[in-house]
Structure 1
Amino acid sequence: MKPERRGRGSQDKVHNPFESREYIEDPEFQEWQHQNGENPWADEATQYTTVNAKSIVNAVVSPDIGHKWSLNPYQGCEHGCSYCYARNTHTYWALDAGLDFERQILVKRNAADLLARHFEKSSWQPEAIMLSGNTDCYQPLERKLEITRSLLKVFLEYRNPVGIVTKNILIERDLDLLIELNKLNLVHVAFSLNSLDEDLRRKMEPRTATAKRRLALIKKLSDLGIPVQVLIAPIIPGLNSHEVLNIAEKVADAGARNISYTILRLNGQVKDVFLAWLEKHYPDRYQKVYNLVAASHDGQLNDSQFGRRMHGHGEMAEQIKQSILLARKRYFAGRELSDYNYQSFRRMRKGQYRLFD
């Protein structure tokens, strides 16, 4: 057995369908290195590449997502979640959805400037923009670069609503900005949390914060009055599906105002990454999980049909849906997210607010 790449959700590169050539590792040489006390992964530190983005706000065409606009300061994600649907987007950059997605991070350093330019357009009418629709805006590199923090400053300056999705407690660093945004009803925070089992979390999301730390931060933000909801996502039948009610109770106790969910679907190269991960870490459950995921999507591992792709279809999907409905009734009755404020938006001209603003 070849040595494990620690801290990586994917252990291998996977085929990029847009490339005619591909790099194939030599497992025998890697094993020889391992047996001789060498680390075959010694030169595999995460690499960061600055890209010259021309725009930063993306239109969301899916009716299954509550936002019309998203913004992603980073392409690729070092969190290394084995199930991440965003892995497929890395193939558009001549990279692969496996290891490259976790160790080849593309950085949009000019994101804040692009966002300000976007808000200056006369055609822009204030609407909520989701940070992040694809990869986590608080992944490890953010601690150093502070691109997400610079974006929040722009949202606050222009008073445009922003939704934040993350599973990293680094968001706590920006409490000062979140508090100011919340005073104007300009921010919602969504934490992704799909397991309270630390062993499963460590294997499935190797570079993310523990569930315990996420729960503590949900409570801290909620106590400050910042609207927080929790995404139980993805729910993986046969792996974490039994945790739904327990997670719901814990996050409700911490002050979350709502929960939502998705069921795992293995689109594109995500299928190769996740199934390899599942076989490595849970070989005894492989066939069961495989069959239950397929049963949740009419016998397929993926379903791209709007309206049902997120929540699945069939008996297993219905069981999960009923668990979510029960959890909402039992733990979230009377709670709701406050509406965004669209009335305070203001444009700036050459660094100055408009007269009388």
Structure 2
Amino acid sequence: MGRWQWVWEGALGVVTVLGLGMVLFTAPGGHLLNILASSAPLGLVAVALSLSMRAGTPNLAVGSVSALSGVLIASVVVVLGLPLVVGVLLVVLLAALSGLVMGAFTVLLEAPAWAVTLAAAVVCDALSLGFTQARTILLPEAPSLSPVVGFGVFAVVSVAGGLLWARRGFRQWLTTGWVGPLVGLAGSCVLAALGGFVLLLRLGAAQPGSQGLFTMVFALAAVLLGGTGLPGVLNGSPLPSGTGAAGTVADAGRADAGRTDVGRADAGRTDVGRADVGRADVGRGGVAGTLLAVLILAIVQGELTLLAMPTYVTMIVLGGAVIAGLAVSRALDALRQQ
């Protein structure tokens, strides 16, 4: 992790400590637990998005996958009468399979991952409405999940992912051949499904509607503010028609960057759809940035709730956070290249 990433995460840490102190001294009792409880499912979805972006395959369906997973788990338990554990396992396997299918489409069609996953998000939202018939599915006798335990799971997964990404060997493995698209998309879908399960336990019910969109915007804001970026997609680089297996600029890291005929097959290249190990379109990221950004956004969301602000205000704030995150990503890339 670069020096400027450490500096940024240190700044996020200071803001987080100040925010938590404000909550402890000014908010009603128990508000901090509510913040931790809301951070757990949203944070797991943010970690899912961070994984896909670091792999060079931004998964814009993580919010919708999370929402659909909660609906499917509740449906399996309520409609089919299966145990909750069985429902979770089935849905997680289905999420992994769906991610693998999206990864295969991305590689075989040399299609941008963001486009493939955006289409998948629409399908997931449609299925959520279809399964629920626009009604809330109550989960009978839902086991309680401690806010501290839920947040602890999210924190461990987030930091562990950052530490893995800090290892050069892991980064090289994740950006070789089909590994990036398959692991990035399948892994992010699994994490998103777990986020949907945690949210289901917290609410005790699965709700249809625009929950997938809200979760996706929150995750994107947290990931970008945390310092994870994808230069080929999020930092202004153009996207040519042939984007390669990872859905980003396939020629960014090649030694023949000066050639003019981008679409010509290279004599030494053995696989057109293969992602090069040294490519420049692999997402940058730190260790604790996503964790801290999720906490900051959850604190802001909690304060807006205490002030009885309407939902559209929260969405506007999250939209502004996405724009701010893009600026942060651009600035970190510029500083890293100095």
TM-score range, shorter chain: under 0.3
Give the TM-score, by structure 2 length. Answer: 0.22
Q: Report which structure shows greater RCO (CA 8 Å, sep ≥6).
A: 2
Give the TM-score, by structure 1 length. Answer: 0.21
Instruction: Identify the structure with the greater helix proportion.
Output: 2
